[in-house]
Amino acid sequence: MNLQSEKTLRFAKKALESHIVALAADKGIKITKARSQIAADIGVDPSSIRQFLNGEVIKPAPKTMQKYVDWLGKNPETTIDPRDEKPQPTPKEITTSPVAKGTALLVTDDEVAMLIGLLQASESSIRDDYTGFEEDRGHEWGREISIASYQAMYRQEGLLKRLRRKIESQSPCQFKFDTELQSVVPLI
């Protein structure tokens, strides 16, 4: 096998990228951390993998390329055969808002918690804006805001609050704000 051929280089690059992304997704870590773990397994410096994948190094040294190919030979990519039975998804299905006819949007409890946290932050931001305008209006130097602007902010806050409550009511678990994490978390 010619280690410096275009076909081998392309294969190694795509396979290493695939392994790194899969490891990051499986363990829930950053790409850089996954890259350094794979580099340690291979026995090379993480920067050499980064440079190879980013195209900064077109053709790695023959010894490095041999290490890549050997490691990829020992760790083939896992693919799901479409003829095999698909694994059951663990996230809960929310069927009230289908993505396309006949399909359901899969959302985990953590994603619902994140969405609730974002909605609460938006509500708070809007509330801070219009209370700031009300306080400024009492002063001589206060800003002039039209009634339509106030109504739009109140309406937007109300819509966000209604959406947040609807999501909370349809979720199978309860959520609370964790002061240590400074975010909304599901209660288990």
5/65 Cα distance (integer angstroms) = 11
Separation of alpha carbons 18 and 9, rounded Å: 14
Look-up of token digits 């109504």: 151
Judging by beta carbons within 10 Å of its beta carbon (0-12, 13-18, 19+), is residue 94 exposed, middle or buried?
Answer: middle
What whole-number distance in Å separates Cα of residue 151 and Cα of residue 155? 6
Instruction: Report pLDDT for 95.
Output: 47
Report d(CA 41, CA 35) in Å as an integer: 10
Q: Tokens for 60, please give them.
A: 């790695």
pLDDT tens profile 160-179: 888 878 877 777 677 676 66
* Helix (H) or strand (E) run with residue 125 in it: helix 109-137
DSSP 8-state code for residue 178: E
Q: pLDDT-derived band of residue 145, with 50, 70 and 90 as boundaries?
A: low
From start to end of the chain, where are the E strands? Answer: 92-94, 105-107, 175-178, 183-186
Gyration radius of the chain's alpha carbons: 26
- Spatial distance between the Cα atoms of 43 and 181, rounded to a whole number of angstroms: 37
Percentage of the chain modeled with pLDDT above 70: 69
| Section 88-102 average pLDDT | 48
What does the pLDDT look like over 10-69, one tens digit per residue?
Answer: 888 888 888 888 888 888 888 889 899 999 999 999 899 989 888 888 888 889 888 888
Q: How far apart are CA 42 and CA 67, in angstroms?
A: 6
Query: What is the maximum span of the chain, computed from C-alpha positions, in angstroms?
Result: 82
- For 118, phi then psi, to 5°, come to -65, -40
Q: Between 43 and 123, whose confidence is greater?
A: 43
